[in-house]
Amino acid sequence: MRGSSLPVTPLQMADSLAEILARYTRHPVVLGRSDAEVYQLVAPDKPTLFLKYSAAYGAGRRDEAARLRWLHGKLPVPEVVHLHEDEHSTALVMTAVPGSDLTKFNGERSKVKRRLTEELARALRRFHTLEPRGCPFDHSAAREIERLEARVSKREASVGESPGLRDARAKLGALRAVLPEETLVLTHGDACLPNVLVMGRELSGFVDLGAAGLGDRYRDLERACWSLSYNYGESYDEVFLSAYGIMELDRTKLSFYRELEFFSFDETVP
């Protein structure tokens, strides 16, 4: 029996995707905040794969596939095995990155977590010092706000104006009014502990790269600090920032990216 079944039939998939899935047992992965269903694909004598599946058509899987292909050979990231898109669904099949994500060590002694926190800092510095020339993915703060404004406009076109949407526009306007000065580097885009893997306490890879691209390093520093406090405890963000090399933290800038990260509005209720 399969570990899990997808809510589509093989007739709704390209033959090549159905063939891949037919050879594997699927196990749901519930860690993280992915907007897709995530499955680990396991079969005897075959390499482990991962599948990200969305029941509705959307650009998310295509965006992640494009970023993985651009990063291939530059950083340890999954390789794209198959990308499937049709009117029913989108699906991305990737190779597995070896190692354990950093949340697997939540219960370890403080000495271990401190060492892993320092490794996270080194891993993100490696990401941020990668040559960004030619990267086509714009995740500057202004571009991120434009994307959010487009989502609000799309909802307005569907249901009309509402107090919730007016509030969302006001919040985005307030963020646009205080756009920070940015130094663009290559950023992960979701630099939380579940998305950084280690093996032997050293970096083995990055995952969940659908928002990777050019942005300010504070975009990743904010996510890392938040995730460290949530998973390891309040003091580890200071360990991280010191190991990264931040001598004087720009708290206003950090707060801006946190506000941007947690911006939300109800896209289902008028």
Query: Mind listing the pLDDT tens digit for each residue in 82-135?
Result: 998 877 778 899 999 999 999 999 999 999 999 999 999 999 999 999 999 999
For the chain, state the CA radius of gyration: 20
For residues 231 and 250, give the distance between their C-alpha atoms in angstroms, rounded to a whole number: 23
Q: Work out the pLDDT band at 32, boundaries 50, 70, 90.
A: low
Q: Is position 45 annotated as part of the catalytic site?
A: no
For residues 48 and 17, give the distance between their C-alpha atoms in angstroms, rounded to a whole number: 15
Q: Work out the pLDDT band at 56, boundaries 50, 70, 90.
A: low
pTM higher than 0.75, yes or no? yes
As a whole number, mean pLDDT of residues 2-10 equals: 45
Query: b/e string for 152-183 if b means 16 or more Cβ within 10 A?
Result: beebbeeeeeeebbeebbebbeebeeeeeebe
Q: Work out the pLDDT band at 239, boundaries 50, 70, 90.
A: very high
Short-list 41, 251, 257, CA closest to 145: 257
pLDDT at residue 270 greater than cutoff 70: no
In angstroms, what CA-CA distances link 103 with 39, 107, 193, 196? 18, 9, 6, 9
For residue 128, count other CB atoms closer than 10 A to its CB. Answer: 21
pLDDT at residue 7 greater than cutoff 50: no
Domains and CATH numbers, the chain: 10-95 (3.30.200.20), 100-261 (3.90.1200.10)
Short-list 17, 220, 192, CA closest to 103: 192
As a whole number, mean pLDDT of residues 148-158 equals: 84
Write down the mean pLDDT value for the chain.
Answer: 89
Which pLDDT score is estimated for 67?
A: 97
* Catalytic pick among 45, 167, 190, 250: 190
- What percent of the chain stands above pLDDT 90? 70
pLDDT at residue 6 greater than cutoff 70: no
Burial class (CB in 10 A: 0-12, 13-18, 19+), 28: exposed
β-sheet bridge partners, residue 215: 185
